[in-house]
Amino acid sequence: MEFAEISQTAIDSLVFSPEWKILPLAAASEADELWVIIVPPSQAALREEIADYTPQAEVRLLDPQTIDDLARAVDKKTALRLCFVTRTPWRAAVPDEDVSAFFSLLKALRDKPAVKLDVFTDKAVASPLFESVTHPVDGVYVGLAQTLAKERPEWTVRSFSLHRLTPDTLREALRAPLPTLLGRPVCLADGRYGVADMQPTTLSPWPAQSAFRQQGTYVILGGAGGLGGKLAEYLAARYQ
């Protein structure tokens, strides 16, 4: 099957797929590091779970007082590492108050020359290290971290998706010398980490005959614009 004036070779040159590298994590460090764990305002239960397991750690809900305190703390302690930890139930959408709090934190830090921010999620990113994605809605924070890393290259912004986010695995991750791969989410599981590079790929050979029927009827979700709109225009012109 050939699209009008477009060869499969030309299409292949535009297609990329993730190529994963799985590597061992370095041994945990015993060095003292300044960090504070912050949790979305709707996840008080997660905050209590982490605080009960690690009583020596500072674990706070991301409320207005915490945001003000963190902005002042970053001024005094440039080595302070802010660890944003989220585990939104997969059946739920990310509450507006949580996203607003995250943006409020970034706004409070906007004039700081150096910020260390790590985002920790629970299987929010698909990876060969995981059987499945269980908290996909937290991908919104992964995306925000990727964007922030590009917009503020002078900051250190990292994103990590754990195989299972518990107080124990979080503590292990905080003690480990995690890789700094700005703008790329890193997956962690069983002492290993995985990271994907987008590489050119080759599509399977196109079928000799199109599966679309002349004057057929098709329902296209989102057909009013974007790729769906382009597909609708193509089908209307080619298959009536």
Condensed to tens digits (0 to 9), the pLDDT of residues 135-190 reads 999 999 999 999 999 999 999 999 999 999 999 999 999 988 999 998 899 999 99
Best CATH choice for the domain 16-200 from the list 3.30.365.10, 1.10.20.60, 3.40.50.720, 3.40.50.1100: 3.40.50.720
Residue ranges covered by each domain of the chain = 16-200, 212-240
pLDDT the model gives residue 6:
63
Distance CA 233, CA 240 (A): 10
Residue 230: C-alpha distances to residues 6, 7, 16, 225, 227 (Å): 15, 18, 20, 7, 5
pLDDT the model gives residue 234:
81
pLDDT the model gives residue 161:
97
Are 70 and 77 in contact by the 8 Å Cβ rule? The answer is: no
The secondary structure element, H or E, covering residue 23 is strand 16-24
Residues 6+ apart with CB under 8 A from 170: 37, 50, 85, 120, 162
pLDDT the model gives residue 32:
67
Distance CA 74, CA 165 (A): 26
- What is the chain's alpha carbon radius of gyration, rounded to the nearest angstrom? 22
Instruction: Provide the Cα torsion 108, 82, 93, 226; round to 10°.
Output: 70
Give residue 19's Cα distance to chain centre.
17
Instruction: Provide the Cα torsion 185, 39, 100, 155; round to 10°.
Output: -50
What DSSP designation does 24 have? E
Q: What is the pTM of this model?
A: 0.80
pLDDT the model gives residue 1:
45
Tokens of residue 125, six digits: 């990113």
Query: What percent of the chain is helix, strand and coil (3-state, nearest 5)?
Result: 35, 20, 45
Q: Shortest CA distance to 112 belongs to which of 59, 157, 51, 48?
A: 157
Q: Which residue ranges of the chain lie beneath pLDDT 70? A: 1-13, 30-32, 206-208, 222-224, 240
Are 185 and 161 in contact by the 8 Å Cβ rule? The answer is: yes
